[in-house]
């Protein structure tokens, strides 16, 4: 079991240290975060990597303990750190809270200014039967714009109109700059992989999507080797189910990327195995790492949540924030081996606990 050690020699030249802000959050967030940190700790020890972890409050935990879903102390903490690891936020307990746990997550993302949310999906060897598809895809990645669109546009809110009751307004807004910077990450990814780039929009209806399509089309002149394919989001949702192999690198605005990445979770058998990185650059730099799933209140506290998405996220942290792709691969390999052995939590059709899956991944790391 030397896969965790393969990268050792190259990095030992000087002791490398990083600080990580850990925000476990709500529901299954703390369970999967603890599991992922055990894996990260193992890999760090093997590689002589010094990590300083500091925990902060976010979401419902922030509301309960500090009166805010993104308390000022957490904001200061994440700006001091090299990378942020988040569990999940939200749950029915805070349904009546004046500020929601989810607002804390959006405030965190916006405060960090990281805009490219990279969400890889992969049908793990041995888990083909967990996919509802007859011919499951091998892998793909959705690059989701994370700081614009309906999530953040103003005006937003409610008013009462005597003749019509209550009116609620959300605003979709995008600038060329916001589109270009995330699209560039997608183009470069498609170029490196030698695959087409699928750009998802709703340009037959929405002005923001028309700007998205125009901007991406203009940019394609800079990437002559990348075949650019445009798809409307409704057709893309259908096509991802019947021909997922066409969706190897996808770029999409915030809301469409949110929806399609959960769809991808369905294609690979469970949301629980998908991790993500949110960055703003190719070089190692600041990053926010979170599994794409939520707080799963239906299974929280039972010790059966799938920790693989959170583990994949720490792998992505090693890759995208610390520039240690070999260390990241060690985690991805250990995750794949665990799955191949049939150590599956109930979401994948197995009966393993979070603890058993974690032990298995640690064993594979050696």
Which residues bind to ligand IPM, rule: CB under 6 A? Answer: 90, 102, 105-106, 258, 292, 294
151 is catalytic: yes
306 makes contact with ligand NAD (CB under 6 A): yes
The binding track of 223-262 with respect to ligand NAD, each residue x by CB under 6 A or -, is ----------------------------------------
Give least dist CB 318 to ligand IPM, A: 21
C-beta separation of 295 from 26 below 8 A: yes
- 287-289 and 277-279 strand pairing: antiparallel
Q: Tell me: does residue 62 bind ligand NAD (CB under 6 A).
A: no
Annotated catalytic residue, options 202, 232, 289, 332: 202
Output the smallest distance, CB 123 to ligand IPM, in A. Answer: 20
Residue 306, contacted partner among ligand NAD, ligand IPM, Mn ion, none, CB below 5-8 A by kind: ligand NAD
Contacts of 184 (CB under 8 A, 6+ apart): 219
DSSP bridge partners of 200: 231, 252
* Nearer Cβ to ligand NAD (91/120): 91
Task: Say which entry of ligand IPM, ligand NAD, Mn ion, none residue 201 contacts (CB below 5 to 8 A, set by partner kind).
Answer: none
d(CA 230, CA 251): 10
Interface of this chain with ligand NAD, residues 94 to 113, rule: CB under 6 A: 102, 105
Contact 288, 112 (CB under 8 A): yes
Contacts of 185 (CB under 8 A, 6+ apart): 116, 118, 143, 251, 279, 282
Q: Which does 354 bind (CB under 5 to 8 A by kind): Mn ion, ligand NAD, ligand IPM, none?
A: none
Reply yes or no on whether 332 is catalytic.
no
| Lookup result for tokens 């000022």 | 72
Sites of contact with Mn ion (CB under 5 A): 258
| N- to C-terminal Cα separation, the chain | 5
Please confirm, yes or no, whether 258 is among the known catalytic residues: yes
HSE-CB for 115 with a 13 A CA cutoff: 22
> Judged by CB under 6 A, which stretch of 122-130, 219-227, 229-237, 291-299 contacts ligand NAD?
291-299
CB of 209 to ligand IPM, least distance (A): 18
Q: How many C-beta neighbours within 10 Å does residue 161 have?
A: 8
Closer residue to ligand NAD, CB minimum distance, 163 or 298 = 298
Q: Which parts of the chain fold into alpha helices (H)? A: 8-11, 29-47, 59-66, 72-80, 101-112, 176-193, 207-219, 233-242, 254-267, 308-320, 325-340, 354-365
Interface with ligand NAD by CB under 6 A: which residues?
Answer: 28, 32, 88-91, 102, 105, 271-272, 290, 293-299, 305-306, 309, 345, 347
């Amino acid at each position: 079991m030397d896969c965790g050690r393969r990268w050792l020699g190259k990095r030992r030249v000087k002791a490398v240290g990083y600080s990580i802000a850990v925000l476990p959050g709500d529901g299954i967030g703390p369970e999967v975060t603890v599991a992922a940190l055990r894996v990260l700790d193992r890999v760090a020890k093997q590689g002589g990597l010094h990590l300083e972890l500091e925990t902060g409050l976010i979401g419902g935990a922030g509301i309960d303990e500090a009166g805010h879903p993104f308390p000022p102390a957490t904001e200061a903490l994440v700006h001091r750190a090299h990378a942020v690891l988040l569990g999940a936020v939200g749950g029915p307990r805070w349904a009546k809270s004046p500020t929601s746990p989810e607002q804390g997550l959006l405030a965190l993302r916006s405060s960090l200014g990281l805009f490219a949310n990279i969400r890889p999906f992969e049908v793990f060897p041995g888990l083909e039967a967990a996919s509802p598809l007859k011919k499951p895809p091998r892998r793909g990645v959705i690059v989701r714009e994370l700081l614009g669109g309906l999530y953040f546009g103003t005006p937003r809110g409610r008013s009462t109109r005597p003749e019509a009751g209550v009116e609620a307004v959300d605003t979709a807004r995008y600038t060329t700059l916001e589109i270009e910077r995330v699209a560039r990450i997608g183009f470069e990814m498609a170029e490196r992989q030698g695959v087409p780039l699928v750009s998802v929009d709703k340009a037959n209806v929405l002005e923001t999507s028309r700007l998205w399509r125009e901007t991406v089309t203009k940019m394609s002149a800079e990437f002559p080797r990348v075949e650019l394919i445009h798809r409307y989001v409704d057709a893309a949702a259908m096509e991802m189910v019947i021909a997922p192999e066409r969706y190897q690198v996808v770029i999409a605005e915030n809301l469409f990327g949110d929806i399609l990445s959960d769809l991808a979770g369905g294609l690979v058998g469970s949301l629980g195995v998908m991790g993500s990185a949110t960055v703003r650059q190719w070089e190692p730099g600041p990053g926010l790492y979170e599994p794409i799933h939520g707080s799963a209140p239906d299974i929280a506290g039972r010790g059966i949540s799938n920790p693989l998405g959170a583990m994949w996220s720490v792998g992505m942290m090693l890759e995208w924030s610390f520039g240690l792709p070999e260390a990241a691969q060690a985690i991805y390999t250990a995750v794949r081996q665990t799955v191949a052995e049939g150590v599956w939590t109930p979401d994948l059709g197995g009966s393993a606990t979070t603890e058993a899956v974690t032990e298995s991944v640690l064993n594979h790391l050696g």
